[in-house]
Amino acid sequence: MKSTEAAISVTTLARRLGDPLMGASCLAALLLGVGSLLFMPLYVLVEAYPVLGNEGGVTGFLFTRPWRPLAAPPEFGILHSWVSTLMITAICLALALPLGYGIGLFVSEIAPRFVQAILQSSLQILAGIPSVVYGFFGYVTLLPLFESHLDMPAGESILAAAIILSIMVLPFVASTSAEAFRAVPAETKEAAFAQGVTRWHVIRRVVIPRAAPGMFAGAVLGFARAIGETLAVLMLAGNSLAVPTGVLDRGQPLTALIATELGEAGVGSRKFHALFAAGLILVVITVIINAGIWALKVKWVRPSE
């Protein structure tokens, strides 16, 4: 008995080492991956910092200075850029939210089973189309339309970018809000229906108020997605350095600014730091939004349990 026991222990020794080995290598993988992820925004902050400390500082960067890399001395202000971002995003949400909520309501409350499934697949397809393809689509459909009907020499504009962006954001708003609508307990709806009112009444008075936090989350997520989009707006917004004033003006949102100017930014130059500062704004907004959604999820899921 003893010798076979010893034999068994020896042969399985290698197998027993498996645990510490796996634990260690998996930990290493985790640290590598999450560490790199964490490193990114910190790095952006570090590279953006010189701009924030410079002449005029943050206010100058954001509000007063124009973007003139070729001037002497070169100036790097991003007023035109974040205004473009805001305008595009605002119009985009103005289009995407009603449409998205409408589709969300349709999917969760009205559509029969098989239509639900088809619609969900279509939304997934919409979400899966790459940004550059959307940009291309807008380029060959919207821009000529604008040029002929709105009497513009070139169709690139805030509005064009916003319209295409709203299609891109639509599936996220629709599925998030559909989830929120579905989460309204059936008993609550049944109780309301039992009062003998119309479906719209129940939806308006019961479902929407209950789903409001989820709808808000959908809007906020749509916002985050919209400000982070690059290629579509790059191809459709026009890349002008002037501050846009109307929807048919050309603009250059933050993402497009980075994409356009990075190629000519020498590493370590002031333009380089300025682009990182623009990036920092995007990172900060995205992280805050996602952290907020996380907190909402945590707070919201628990009380209902």
Which residues inside 197-226 make contact with another protein, applying CB under 8 A? 197-201, 203, 224
Residue list 217-276, contact with another protein (CB under 8 A): 224, 227-231, 234-235, 255, 258-259, 262-263, 267, 272, 275-276
Residue list 13-42, contact with another protein (CB under 8 A): 15-16, 18-19, 21-23, 25-30, 32-34, 36-38, 40-41
Query: Residue 52: CB partners within 8 Å, gap ≥ 6?
Result: 58, 61, 277
Residue list 65-94, contact with another protein (CB under 8 A): none
Establish if 304 lies at the interface with another protein (CB under 8 A).
Answer: no
Of 217, 233, 214, residue with least CA distance to 168: 233
Establish if 287 lies at the interface with another protein (CB under 8 A).
Answer: yes
Give the interface size with another protein as a residue count (CB under 8 A): 93
Of 78, 93, 97, 123, which one interacts with another protein (CB under 8 A)?
123
Of 53, 73, 128, 303, which one interacts with another protein (CB under 8 A)?
128
Least CB distance from residue 255 to another protein, whole Å? 5
Establish if 150 lies at the interface with another protein (CB under 8 A).
Answer: no
Residue 220, both tokens:
């906020």
Least CB distance from residue 72 to another protein, whole Å? 26
Segment interacting with another protein (CB under 8 A) among 106-114, 152-160, 182-190, 208-216: 106-114
Q: Is the peptide bond before 213 cis (omega within 30 degrees of 0)?
A: no
| 169 vs 154: CA distance, rounded Å | 25
Residue-level length of the chain: 305
Residue 68, both tokens:
């003139």
Least CB distance from residue 304 to another protein, whole Å? 19
Least CB distance from residue 158 to another protein, whole Å? 19
| 32 vs 30: CA distance, rounded Å | 5
Are the beta carbons of 131 and 232 closer than 8 angstroms? yes
Establish if 300 lies at the interface with another protein (CB under 8 A).
Answer: no
Least CB distance from residue 208 to another protein, whole Å? 11
Of 74, 102, 144, 209, which one interacts with another protein (CB under 8 A)?
102
Least CB distance from residue 196 to another protein, whole Å? 7
Segment interacting with another protein (CB under 8 A) among 56-64, 76-84, 155-163, 290-298: 290-298
Least CB distance from residue 245 to another protein, whole Å? 25
Of 6, 132, 191, 212, which one interacts with another protein (CB under 8 A)?
132
